[in-house]
Amino acid sequence: MDRERLIDEILMLLPVLGRGLGRPGPGELGEISAQGIPVDVHISPGHVQVLIALGRGPHSIRHLAEVVGVSSPAVTQLVNHLEEHKMVERRHDPADRRVVLVDYAPGMQDIARRMMEGRRKRLREAVNPLTDEEARALLKGLVLLVGSFDAVREEAAGAKHS
């Protein structure tokens, strides 16, 4: 796997790691906001994953669901929210009018590209000192960590229903 693909894979995992660790509560968000740091409580890690995935080009809902790792109905809700905020839009695939593609809304692609490039740059700088083997091990470790978050969540959901 080339380094740029590795960077993209790690970027896709970071929102999942954030979700696994939990989001800041209202009190914490208030403290962050009081420091003058803008906080948008309406954009979840799932929304961020959709926006990251669209950086690779338009996707169908089914493909977005695969990339983000959620069901099609779940990704539809994420896309609906982003569409309401005029960040993405739906359009028919010119090659197959039955397929609806999701893409950045006009003007959003440049904003998203700049935001993602800043994150890629910071992550690239952090990963650059690693050898290729270490970088692959980092990615593998992050994948395993995300999987363990999912396992703990499933276990807790099973315990509630027992």
For the chain, the domain total comes to 1
pLDDT at 123: 83
Closest CA to 83 of 110, 55, 106, 111: 106
pLDDT at 131: 95
Domain that holds residue 145: 3-160
pTM, full prediction: 0.65
CATH number where 64 lies: 1.10.10.10
Structure-model confidence comparison of residues 104 and 154, the more confident one? 104
pLDDT at 34: 60
Could you read off the pLDDT of 33-75 as tens digits, one per residue? Answer: 564 444 554 677 788 889 888 988 999 999 999 988 889 999 9
Mean pLDDT for the chain? 80
Structure-model confidence comparison of residues 85 and 100, the more confident one? 100
Output the CA–CA distances (angstroms, integers) from residue 81 to 86, 88, 132, 135, in the order listed.
9, 9, 38, 34
Give the number of other CB atoms < 10 A from CB of residue 106.
9
Who contacts 91 (Cβ-Cβ below 8 Å, separation ≥6)?
58, 100, 101, 103
**How many CA atoms are closer than 13 Å to the CA of 115, on its beta-carbon side?**
11
Rounded Cα gap, residues 116 and 155, in angstroms? 34
How far is C-alpha 101 from the chain's CA centre? 18
For helices 72-84 and 45-54, the axis angle rounded to 10 degrees is 90
